[in-house]
Structure 1
Amino acid sequence: MGSATILTLRALLALSLIGSLWVQLLVLPALWGDLATVPIGLRVTVIMILALWLVCLQVVALCIWRLVSMAAADAVFSAGAFRFVDAVIGAIAVAAILTGVLATLMAPGPAAPGVVGIVYGAALATGGVALVVVVMRSLLRKAIEMRSELDEVV
């Protein structure tokens, strides 16, 4: 992987982390105030879902940062990479579930059915991303096996 690619990816990851922290510190408290007329239980649940979703994003960004560092050091084809890939899969799966729960909470309320459908669609798409990463994990496993075989031959 080229140094320009690594630098660009790290910059984007840093921006996503800074942006998510900004949302956690400034936007979620403002949203809490905007939801003043919503029953307290629902209000807490919505804010917690959004905060946990942001934590999932942060976990993914940090794990990708670590995987990029491993790739830059030519160490990504090792068993140590699996813990970061597994954490990415888990965080994306949790985000998909949280998105589905949010859509379910929106369904009986004043939200337009189309908006609820879009949020359910986002939950399905997010779950699909988790499955894509599962496939990529299996490709990583195969690449590690092939590299080990090649090392034995050489």
Structure 2
Amino acid sequence: MKNIRWLVIPLRVLLVVVFAGLLLAQLFSLPGQFSHMAEESPRLGVIPWLLLAFWILELLCVQIVIVCTWRLLTLVRADRIFSEEAFVWVDAILWAMATGWVLVAGVSAYLVGFIYVTPELRDPGLPIFLFGMVLISGVVVLTMFVLRALLRQATVLKTDLEEVI
């Protein structure tokens, strides 16, 4: 674990920078962008505000993952990553990622339906992109489930080894 510990500080610095950027986006950039969109295109109705809510929730999911990763890094530094305490944070990461995936899948399905109802928007590029995003997000979430199972196995093996010694 000693060779991993030197990575904790730079990773934490990057996590703080990303968290601050996401917070700025949630508080200033996104509301301004979607407010401008609503003013410029009143025919869109509530769609800009729904998109604002979607993006704020998506960024909140990422922020939850950042906070949980920070807590897992604390366990790494204390050499307690292979403990039951780690599963609380890993499970929170999984719930945040699964929630983000459900949001992406739902909004993508809605947008693809909207595109095919509106004849002037029938470009296949956006539905293909959205389908790809749903697939990639699903792969990331399922990979996290596999990593959680590996952490569980390693924790059990470490506990068994400590009992033998």
Paired AA for residue 41 in structure 1: V
Paired AA for residue 21 in structure 2: G
Calculate the TM-score normalised by the size of structure 2: 0.85
**Cα deviation per residue 1:9-60 (whole Å; 9 max; x = unaligned)?**
1111111101100110121112222321253332221111110000000000
Q: Does 1:136 align with 2:138?
A: no
Unmatched tracts of structure 2, length 5 or more: 116-120
- Give the number of the structure whose residues are more often helix, by fraction: 2
Matches within 5 A, 1:44-59: 44-59=49-64
Q: Does 1:76 align with 2:78?
A: no
CA distance in 2, matches of 1:106, 1:35: 17
Q: 3-state SS of the aligned residue for 1:75?
A: coil
Percent identity, aligned pairs only, is 32
User: How has the CA–CA distance of structure 1 residues 90 and 111 changed in structure 2, closer, same or farther, with 3 Å as cutoff?
Assistant: farther
User: How has the CA–CA distance of structure 1 residues 111 and 73 changed in structure 2, closer, same or farther, with 3 Å as cutoff?
Assistant: farther
Counterpart of 2:118 in structure 1 is: none
Paired AA for residue 98 in structure 1: L
Counterpart of 1:19 in structure 2 is: 21
Structure with greater Cα Rg? 2
The answer as to whether partners of 2:35 and 2:48 remain within 8 angstroms in 1 is no
Unmatched tracts of structure 1, length 5 or more: none
Stretch moving more, 6-15 or 39-48: 39-48
Q: 3-state SS of the aligned residue for 2:84?
A: coil
Q: 3-state SS of the aligned residue for 1:35?
A: helix
Counterpart of 1:106 in structure 2 is: 111
Alignment partner of 1:118 out of 129, 137, 146: 129
CA distance in 2, matches of 1:139, 1:8: 25
CA distance in 1, matches of 2:52, 2:123: 20
Stretch moving more, 80-89 or 116-125: 116-125
User: How has the CA–CA distance of structure 1 residues 104 and 148 changed in structure 2, closer, same or farther, with 3 Å as cutoff?
Assistant: same
**Cα deviation per residue 1:62-98 (whole Å; 9 max; x = unaligned)?**
0001001101101111111111111111111111111
